[in-house]
Amino acid sequence: MSVDLHLHTTASDGTFKPRRLVKRAVKKGVRVIAVTDHDTTSGIQEACDEAQRWSVDVICGIEINTEYRGREVHVLGYFIDPENSDLQRRLETVRMHRVQRMSKMVERLRAAGVEIDEEDVRRHGRGESLGRPHVAQALVAKKYAFHVADAFERWLRPECPGYVPRESLDPFEAISLITQAGGVPVLAHPLHLGSDGVIEDLIAGGLRGLEVYYPTHSPTHIAYFSDLADAHGLGKTGGSDFHGPQIKRVDVGDVDFSLAGLRAFCETVGRDVPRLARGGRL
């Protein structure tokens, strides 16, 4: 019986609607899931409604994209109150900035002679969160680049004609927003950050857990992050980071994390274990 605490839906950049995600979890024998869309909680209600029809527990989650020391830092939040107004207000601003950034990129590209408009970009975005990957896909579709990486290289990287700097949250603000919304902040895919003290800074900034179990983590990585979590009294989570079967080729539940792991996490961070996970049976 497995648990998957890192899943995306069409509310951000996933390809499955929340309803379909829940059905997939049922099919894969995953008992507890967390819906963790980028910078939005708008997929959660639908997932909860669907989960009631099946014996699946849904934890209210989010993945907030931030930047720190030139690095992308993703902060997961679990057990958040999706109605929290400070959180929602801040997320709204973040999403608005992203849309404005996309418009500015299109403007700069047009000034550089590229025939592209916002509608071309929107066509490649499936949800609310439009960003550089969608502009890149539009450039490929319009034959201004061979493929997405090429589009970044020619047009969208710093010092390229279409580059617009991002206005990001910093991870400490994300940690405090999640905490104030009643949630538990956990660092997503810590391997992406390397080992030059960034993780320690975040721990000092109020982080409560590490995503120790992740599809690209080897047993050595898992042991390393597990020890790091123990040393700082942090909880350990696991998630597949599913975005849809076409993306990254992982499926719901493709992570070595169990009900026992979830129970240990809840105990470490002082939360009640979700109803269905308590006894380990239906």
Chain residues in the site for Zn ion (CB under 5 A): 63, 74, 188, 241
Nearest distance in Å: CB 75, Zn ion: 9
Tell me the C-alpha to C-alpha distance, in Å, between residue 182 and each of 93, 113, 128, 207, 224.
20, 48, 24, 13, 29
Q: Which is nearer to Zn ion, 162 or 237 (CB)?
A: 237
> CA-CA distance, 261 to 37, in Å (whole number)?
22
Nearest distance in Å: CB 42, Zn ion: 16
- CA nearest 167: which of 100, 103, 122? 100
DSSP label at residue 185: E
Nearest distance in Å: CB 153, Zn ion: 22
Closest residue to Zn ion: CB criterion: 74
200 and 101 Cβ atoms separated by less than 8 Å: no
Q: Identify residue 248 by its one-letter amino acid code.
A: K
Q: Which is nearer to Zn ion, 139 or 177 (CB)?
A: 177
Nearest distance in Å: CB 13, Zn ion: 9
| Structure-token pair, residue 151 | 């589009």
Q: Which is nearer to Zn ion, 46 or 241 (CB)?
A: 241
Q: Most distant CA pair in the chain: distance in Å? A: 62
DSSP label at residue 190: G
Radius of gyration of the chain (CA): 19
Q: Which is nearer to Zn ion, 31 or 74 (CB)?
A: 74
Nearest distance in Å: CB 134, Zn ion: 17
Strand partners, 237: 211
Q: Which is nearer to Zn ion, 128 or 241 (CB)?
A: 241
